[in-house]
C-alpha cells in the first residue's frame, strides 16, 4: 500500500496552524569539509522537539468525533508519544502511550507532563504494541501508530515540501530511518517534485529493523538493543502495510552508522553548529563525516529531534565512550 502525494498537500493545510515551519540553514563547517553546500533542516526546533508532531497532529485532526471521544493510544520510543500527547491535548482527547523499559526516563517524563497516561510494557516496542492492541480491542481506543499509518506518513511528508522549497537545487537528501514513516513521507514528496533527486535513509548498526527487512525482502523481527539513536529503535511490524514498500520503492540507499560515528556527529553538531541533537537526529551528519555517503552536489540533512537526556548529552560532549549508552539511561 502507498499514499498519494495529494495527501501530503492536504496534510500541510490541515496542520499549518499547529506546527512550526522549521528553519533550514547552511552547515558551514560540514560544507567546508565536504566541498559542497550542505544545509541542515532543523526539525529538532519543532514544538515538541521532533518531527513527530507533524504526523501525530495530522492523524488526530483526521479522526472522526467518535474516534477522538474514544481516546487515542500508541506505542512509542518517546518522540511519537510526546507528539501524540501534545496533539491529543490540543484536541481535548485522552491519550495513552505504551512504551518499553528501554525508553529513556526523560522522554517518559516529558510525555507525562503533557497529561498522557503512560504504560511501561516489556523490553521492546513490539511488547508495548501488544498493550496498544489490547486497549484498542477491549477499551475501544483509537490506535495512532508511530509510522505505519497513512495520515502519519502524510504529515511527515510535509517536511519534504519545505526542504525543496528552501533549497530547490538539492541533489541529495539524508533522512533518519527507523520504522520508515518519516523517510516514506519525505521520499514521496521529494520523488514527486524532483524525480532525479538522490534519497538516502540513515540508521544505526544496532537493531536496524528496516534495513534487515529490506535485505530479507519482507518485514522481519530484529532484536531491539540499546543505542544512542534510541528513537530509531523498534521493529517495522510483520504486518507492515505502508512503509516497507514505500521505502523499498522510493529510496535509493540505506546507510548504517556506528555508535562511535553517531557520538562524533553529535559533538560536531554541538561544537561546530551550536545544535543539541539526540543520537537519532545526528545519523545523517555521521554518514557524511564517516565517508559513507559521497556528495556530487548540494545536499540537505534532516535533523529530526533534540529530546536527549542532557546528562547523557554532557557525557557524550565530554568524549565518553558511547557504548555506555545503556548504562546512561539509568543515571
pLDDT at 210 > cutoff 70: yes
Specify the pLDDT at position 161: 98
Specify the pLDDT at position 330: 36
pLDDT at 9 > cutoff 50: yes
H/E/C letters for each residue in the chain?
CCCCHHHHHHHHHHHCCCCCCCCEEECHHHHHHHCCCEEEEEHHHCCCCECHHHHHHHHHHHCCHHHHHHCEEEECCCHHHHHHHHHHHHHCCCEEEEECCCCCHHHHHHHHHCCCEEEECCCCHHHHHHHHHHHHHHCCCEECCCCCCHHHHHHHHHHHHHHHHHCCCCCEEEEECCCCHHHHHHHHHHHHHCCCCEEEEEEECCCCHHHHHHHHCCCCCCCCCCCCCHHHCCCCCCCCCCHHHHHHHHCCEEEEECHHHHHHHHHHHHHHHCCCCCHHHHHHHHHHHCCCCCCCCCEEEEECECCCCHHHHHHHHCCCCHHHHHHHCCC
Specify the pLDDT at position 139: 95
Domains and CATH numbers, the chain: 5-50+149-328 (3.40.50.1100), 52-143 (3.40.50.1100)
Specify the pLDDT at position 226: 85
Specify the pLDDT at position 324: 52
pLDDT at 208 > cutoff 70: yes
Amino acid at each position: 500500500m502507498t499514499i498519494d502525494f495529494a495527501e501530503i498537500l492536504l496534510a500541510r493545510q490541515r496542520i499549518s496552524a499547529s506546527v512550526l515551519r522549521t528553519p533550514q540553514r547552511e552547515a558551514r563547517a560540514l560544507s567546508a569539509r565536504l566541498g559542497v553546500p550542505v544545509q541542515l533542516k532543523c526539525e529538532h526546533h519543532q514544538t515538541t522537539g521532533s518531527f513527530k508532531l507533524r504526523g501525530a497532529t495530522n492523524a488526530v485532526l483526521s479522526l472522526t468525533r467518535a474516534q477522538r471521544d474514544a481516546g487515542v493510544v500508541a506505542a512509542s520510543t518517546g518522540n511519537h508519544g510526546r507528539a501524540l500527547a501534545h496533539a491529543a491535548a490540543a484536541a481535548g482527547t485522552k491519550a495513552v502511550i505504551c512504551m518499553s523499559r528501554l525508553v529513556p526516563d526523560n522522554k517518559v517524563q516529558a510525555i507525562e507532563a503533557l497529561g498522557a497516561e503512560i504504560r511501561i510494557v516489556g523490553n521492546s516496542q513490539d511488547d508495548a504494541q501488544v498493550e496498544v492492541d489490547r486497549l484498542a480491542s477491549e477499551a475501544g481506543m483509537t490506535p495512532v501508530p508511530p509510522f505505519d499509518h497513512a495520515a502519519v506518513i502524510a504529515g511527515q511528508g510535509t517536511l519534504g515540501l519545505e526542504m525543496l522549497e528552501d533549497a530547490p537545487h538539492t541533489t541529495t537528501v539524508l533522512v533518519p530511518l527507523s520504522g520508515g514513516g518519516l523517510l516514506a513521507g519525505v521520499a514521496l514528496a521529494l520523488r514527486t517534485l524532483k524525480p532525479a533527486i538522490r534519497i538516502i535513509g540513515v540508521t544505526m548498526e544496532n537493531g536496524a529493523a528496516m534495513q534487515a527487512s529490506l535485505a530479507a525482502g519482507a518485514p522481519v523481527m530484529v532484536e531491539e538493543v540499546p543505542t544512542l539513536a534510541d528513537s530509531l529503535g523498534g521493529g517495522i511490524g510483520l504486518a507492515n502495510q505502508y512503509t516497507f514498500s514505500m521505502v523499498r520503492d522510493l529510496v535509493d540507499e540505506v546507510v548504517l552508522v556506528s555508535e562511535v560515528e553517531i557520538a562524533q556527529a553529535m559533538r560536531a553538531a554541538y561544537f561546530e553548529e551550536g545544535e543539541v541533537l539526540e543520537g537519532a537526529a545526528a545519523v545523517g551528519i555521521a554518514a557524511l563525516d564517516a565517508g559513507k555517503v559521497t556528495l556530487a552536489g548540494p545536499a540537505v540533512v534532516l535533523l529530526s529531534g533534540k529530546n536527549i537526556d542532557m546528562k547523557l548529552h554532557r557525557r557524550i560532549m565530554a568524549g565518553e565512550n558511547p557504548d555506555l549508552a545503556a548504562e546512561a539511561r539509568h543515571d
